[in-house]
Amino acid sequence: MSAFEEVNYYFRKAARVMDLSAAVEKMLVTPFREVKVDVSIALDNGQLGTFIGYRIQHDKTRGPMKGGLRFHPSVDLAEAQALASLMTWKTAVVNLPYGGAKGGIAVDPESLTPRELERLTRRFVQQIHDIIGPQQDIPAPDVNTNPQIMAWIMDEYSKFHGFSPAVVTGKPVELFGSKGREEATGRGVVWALEEYLADAGLGEVRGKRFAVQGFGNVGSWACRFLHERGGRVVAIGDARGAIGHREGIDIPTLVEHVAKTRSVAGFPGAQGISNEGVLLADVDVLVPAALGGVITEANAKDIRARIVLEAANAPTTPGADDILEGRGVTVLPDIFVNAGGVTVSYFEWAQNIQQFSWEEEKVNAELHRHMREAYATLARVVKSRKVSFRTAAFIVAIGRVGRATVLRGV
Ligand code: NAD
């Protein structure tokens, strides 16, 4: 299955429970618009660099489309379609007035100089500026994109359309970004887990053991919040290596190490382990927080965690999901768990439109409320329909998008 087919497999599993007709199913899974553009730039050495960019706009029934931009060699049409559709379902799960979109450029940003990266970003905006906009489609950070890149997007878009901070979220706070956006996804991940632990009578984060794959924006903030609450993160991996420590890794010191060396690898006092070793670690909770498709039929039977907390998008393939469900492992799904990022992106957009800025306490309180309400809704569906959290999340999302579609009229 392609990445997009995998998302649609989950969609159909929920659609069957809901008795959706084949025609409605087809309409809801089909993207509204798919854009593929040439993003060629002059490299610093005078040669031509040729790259392909994508923006997939999946659904706009419930509001402007929203979703990140990924700069990674794996970016292709199917991945962007999958991630765009996940954004439609995610914004609906947390009940934001948005649709879903996603995009990116097939590039390894580490192969570019900072000036080339800026040129590439600006070139991409030149190619797609007419289909994005504060009331149309609002990009945000994802893998290998950051607040500086969002600032370039805002600047370039504003050259075409006038001053437009609300065209993109995840901007630096000095340039109309929201307080609390940087940490929001990781913070939401931990709140999602806490809601489940309390509901299932499984106690607190304190004393529990965690393995985290990915130590970028989402993984590193999730680790910090788990550590603050007394959780023991015993295994962490990133693209360059992985480390383990029986008693728990000292996260604040690891953050300093990564700031200097750009990897968790070689962290003093920890053991080097394999990337697969992170996924199979003897822990209570496994937190995939890097790329998609890492929990597969090949490794799902060996995962020792009892809870999989999907901080990454689409980390679990359908075959693996079935194996985990059969083994009684609770999978808390991406479209709920990592929705904190888009939720605070929504607050950023709302602040930009109102030209008014919120204090961080208000951002965090509103984020907490959204995560709690989303969990309560999912938990009700899990219990009443006797389905997994993932199917429940899709049922809630399809219901909201479907009703909005019917009310607006086809
Ligand atoms: P990031 O670029 O900040 O970090 C990615 C991390 O993954 C890095 O530590 C990188 O080294 C690691 N990684 C990459 N390839 C790997 C591999 N093969 N094995 C192990 N580790 C690897 O990206 P991010 O923003 O933290 O995004 C991580 C995940 O969370 C993605 O799936 C993204 O779609 C999802 N997500 C991000 C946000 C957000 O607000 N940034 C919101 C929702 C979901």
Name the CATH code of domain 32-164 (choices 3.30.420.40, 3.30.460.10, 3.40.50.10860, 1.10.10.60).
3.40.50.10860
CA of 407 to the centre of ligand 1 (A): 37
User: Using CA positions, which residue lies closest to atom 41 of ligand 1?
Assistant: 142
> Which of 291, 332, 347 gets mutated to test ligand 1 (max ligand atoms within 8 A of its CB)?
291
Average of pLDDT values for 241-270? 98
What is the CATH code for 184-332? 3.40.50.720
What token pair was written down for 212? 């985290």
CB atoms within 10 A of CB 115: 11
Ligand 1 atom 17: residue of nearest CA: 239
410 confidence band (pLDDT: 50, 70, 90): confident
Equal CATH topology for 32-164 and 184-332: yes
Given a cut of 90, whether residue 170 has pLDDT beyond it is yes
- Asked whether residue 318 carries a pLDDT value surpassing 90, the answer given is yes
Ligand 1, residue 215: give the atom nearest the CA.
9
- pLDDT, position 131: 98
> Which pLDDT score, from 0 to 100, does residue 272 have?
98
Kindly give the number of the ligand 1 atom that is closest to the alpha carbon of 184: 40
Report the pLDDT averaged over residues 149-161.
98
Place of tokens 């610093």: 44
**Contact status, residue 314 vs residue 3, Cβ threshold 8 Å:** yes
Distance between terminal CA atoms of the chain? 30
Tokens representing residue 227 in the block: 């550590």
Ligand 1 and 388: CB distance under 6 A: no
Instruction: List, for residues 197-243, the tens digit of each pLDDT value.
Output: 999 999 999 999 999 999 999 999 999 999 999 999 999 999 999 99
Q: Amino acid letter at 337?
A: V
Q: What is the pLDDT of residue 99?
A: 98
Q: How confident is the model at residue 347 (pLDDT cuts 50, 70, 90)?
A: very high
What's the pLDDT tens digit per position in 120-137?
Answer: 999 999 999 999 999 999
What residues does each domain of the chain span? 32-164, 184-332
Q: Per this entry, what is the length of the chain? A: 410
Within 10 angstroms of residue 101's Cβ, the number of other Cβ atoms is 35
Q: Which helix (H) or strand (E) holds 235?
A: strand 232-238
Average pLDDT on 43-49 reads 98
Q: What is the mean pLDDT of the chain?
A: 97
Which of the residues are catalytic? 102
> Separation of 214 CA from ligand 1 center, angstroms?
6
What radius of gyration, in Å, describes the C-alpha atoms of the chain?
A: 20
Cβ within 8 Å of residue 209, ≥6 positions away: 231, 232, 234, 248, 281, 282, 283, 284, 285
Asked whether the whole model's pTM tops 0.95, one would answer yes
Q: Is the CB of 391 under 6 A from ligand 1?
A: no
Q: Return the pLDDT at 353.
A: 97
Q: Can you list the alpha helix ranges (DSSP code H) found in 94-216?
A: 114-128, 147-161, 181-200
- Does residue 143's CB lie within 6 angstroms of at least one atom of ligand 1? yes
The predicted structure's pLDDT at residue 152: 98
How many separate helices (H) and strands (E) can be counted in the chain? Answer: 14, 14
Q: How far is the CA of 277 from the centre of ligand 1 (A)?
A: 18
CB 208 within 8 A of CB 284: yes
**Cβ of residue 290 lying under 6 Å from some atom of ligand 1:** yes
